[in-house]
Structure 1
């Protein structure tokens, strides 16, 4: 990064990422690679991959934590918080509105056909990110081995625990095969404990309040805050937990309503955790529109807050400990494993979109446009959405 960007400039880039981030966390990383790395050079491919690896072992929304950490890196805690708002607020607002107007949408059979080619576009974003990132992390036979091993392992085993396990294994193997032995130097670490204490205070305080006060907004905040810190792996992983509790146990909404909202979020840009705004808003439909709006935003706040507090606590520590020679050695393996995650995400999504002629055309168009930087990412998104409207 040649010079410090203005807050407004950086947040505009975050908004571009938010409005172009279709397809889940892996596709989001492709958007970050294009906008934050290749175009604006706020950080390098290696630094982005470090953040991706770091957020894989933390509870919370991984792509959201990644972009918050980028904001923190550029401008400290304040910019990190503003980054969260700009990244999440557009889709949270839309999903809250969808909950309020749910009856209108369902009775008029609003079609989502215009987003039919978004998944194919997301494949293009991921392919370009995978190529650009893996060109940086592949350095020798060990990194090639770890990249292929992580890709194959996570293709066949998709449970949340496999990702942190593979990252730890990659770092461990890189250290034990390193020729130098005196690599564990000392550094001074100054943890910002306040964020950890606030995280714990909310967890315990919410539980106590929900047991003593039955106000629906407090109950919803407690539930979504708990979802936010119990889940490693992002929005796709939290969906079954939300379904079991909110649909099957508490009957806040029906299975059909839950799945309809989930289908809608698949075609929308931004973080998957914003689905919480729809579920929370719909849960209080009998309490009036104002309560629905409050419930939507409070539910979203609840699910995003724990991951934000944790990345605020962990990121500064990471910046300090990665100066240790041993951590730098471990990073060689960790980044290779993370590169495998990105690679297999492209393969998995490619297998899901269907290889008809139009999808292949969209994939090739997106990949070439991004690779040669001929068309800005927002125009690519607009072009693909327009194609969905026309055809």
Structure 2
């Protein structure tokens, strides 16, 4: 177990670049270097993580840990990979208010907010190309984006996701190959029951104190995020954006871009901000709650992913949800990301130059962070 923890902890210290990069790091380490699993098995874990809601790269790491050491190994992998970014995001949450008045710090935050515009815009474009190839998917994306901009509420997002899944069943289902019989699905129903009990309970525990409220909000977000990474932004903004304010919310999101590890540790920052009297407890509850749904669902289907994904109607539902989340992310690109970051022609010019550099030269995320931080400092003190 210690070996699993240390391997993932090392990756958690250096894994800049978001979920796609994390999956590349995992493959290099656990397939090519250590040989813990082969390419075929690794590809199956990646496919399963894309099928279910939750933090994609963290789910892959969780599954690798499970394959290596059972449930304890899975928890060791999660703790190792998440701990570096958890510590950094918590420290940023509890210490930044004391030195935010510093011009250099303000400049760095200013630059990172502009970088967030670039990163989210790139994510929207990439996901649009991947998930919105068909006309029905593009229409779902547009309707979802418009609806959430008009009515930016959690219930709107839930209804949009459910509606998109239903439409996807009828409009985006794949054609079944009749020559290959479908394998039976064998699920771990205990974890599935726990997932739904906690999800339903999250709607009723909001009045049982701040700890229960934080758990319920972040558990619901973790249950509804298909695609992981940046897709969590609009759901979190709806859940707690008003509580901490748009500027502070975007500051935390900018910090989440700058640290290695999973994007979902943005919840660490938000949990500490929401529960100012007990920030460490708030950070722990929010972090555990947002990761828990995805891990429970991975445990449900870890042994039957082939049989699940082969069902055409299920594949269609997921395609509809994917198109919907592209629309939600496109709406989040405007509010709060763009509206809280771009205030002048110089800001927009830096965003355009940054986006061009990202697409043309594909720099590592650390280079992007340093570049935008330096530009923000120079613009802020000029």
Q: What TM-score do the two structures reach when normalised by structure 1? A: 0.64
Relative to structure 1, is the Cα distance of residues 152 and 191 closer, same or farther in structure 2, using a 3 angstrom cutoff? Answer: closer
Aligned to 1:203: 199
Q: Deviations for 1:145-180, whole angstroms, at most 9, x for unmatched residues?
A: xxxx958839x96959899x99x999946x63xxxx
1:220 to 2:200 alignment: no
User: 254, 258, 265: which one pairs with 1:274?
Assistant: 265
Separation of aligned partners in 1, 2:49 and 2:359: 31
Aligned to 1:372: none
Separation of aligned partners in 1, 2:27 and 2:172: 23
Relative to structure 1, is the Cα distance of residues 231 and 151 closer, same or farther in structure 2, using a 3 angstrom cutoff? Answer: closer
Q: What TM-score do the two structures reach when normalised by structure 2? A: 0.65
Separation of aligned partners in 2, 1:80 and 1:99: 28
- The list of structure 1 runs, each at least 4 consecutive aligned residues, that deviate by more than 6 angstroms after superposition, is 112-116, 160-163, 168-171, 358-362, 381-391
Aligned to 1:318: 305
Report the count of equivalent residues.
307
Structure 1: runs of 5 or more not aligned: 1-6, 123-148, 338-350, 367-380
1:153 to 2:150 alignment: no
Separation of aligned partners in 1, 2:285 and 2:10: 25
- In the TM superposition, residue 387 of structure 1 has moved relative to its aligned partner by 9.7
Does the CA-based 8 Å contact 2:217-2:239 persist in structure 1? no
Relative to structure 1, is the Cα distance of residues 265 and 384 closer, same or farther in structure 2, using a 3 angstrom cutoff? Answer: closer
Relative to structure 1, is the Cα distance of residues 387 and 40 closer, same or farther in structure 2, using a 3 angstrom cutoff? Answer: farther
1:41 to 2:35 alignment: yes
Aligned to 1:85: 79
Q: Give the SS at the match of 2:203.
A: helix
Q: Give the SS at the match of 1:153.
A: coil
Relative to structure 1, is the Cα distance of residues 191 and 200 closer, same or farther in structure 2, using a 3 angstrom cutoff? Answer: same
Relative to structure 1, is the Cα distance of residues 268 and 352 closer, same or farther in structure 2, using a 3 angstrom cutoff? Answer: farther
Does the CA-based 8 Å contact 2:191-2:300 persist in structure 1? yes
Q: Deviations for 1:277-312, whole angstroms, at most 9, x for unmatched residues?
A: 111111122x2xxx1110011111110111111111
Higher mean C-alpha displacement, 265-274 vs 237-246: 237-246
Separation of aligned partners in 1, 2:260 and 2:41: 24
Separation of aligned partners in 2, 1:90 and 1:253: 24
Separation of aligned partners in 2, 1:78 and 1:169: 41
Q: Give the SS at the match of 1:316.
A: coil
Does the CA-based 8 Å contact 2:9-2:83 persist in structure 1? no
Separation of aligned partners in 2, 1:100 and 1:60: 26
Does the CA-based 8 Å contact 1:280-1:292 persist in structure 2? yes
Does the CA-based 8 Å contact 1:20-1:31 persist in structure 2? no
Aligned to 2:293: 306
Relative to structure 1, is the Cα distance of residues 257 and 318 closer, same or farther in structure 2, using a 3 angstrom cutoff? Answer: same
- In the TM superposition, residue 82 of structure 1 has moved relative to its aligned partner by 1.4
Separation of aligned partners in 2, 1:311 and 1:256: 34
Which runs of structure 2 are paired with 1:1-391 in the superposition (5 Å)?
A: 7-109=1-103, 110=105, 111=108, 150=130, 153=133, 172=174, 176=177, 182-184=179-181, 190-211=186-207, 213=208, 215-248=209-242, 252-285=243-276, 287=277, 291-318=278-305, 321=307, 353-354=354-355, 363=363
Q: Report the aligned-residue RMSD.
A: 4.4
Separation of aligned partners in 2, 1:61 and 1:382: 21
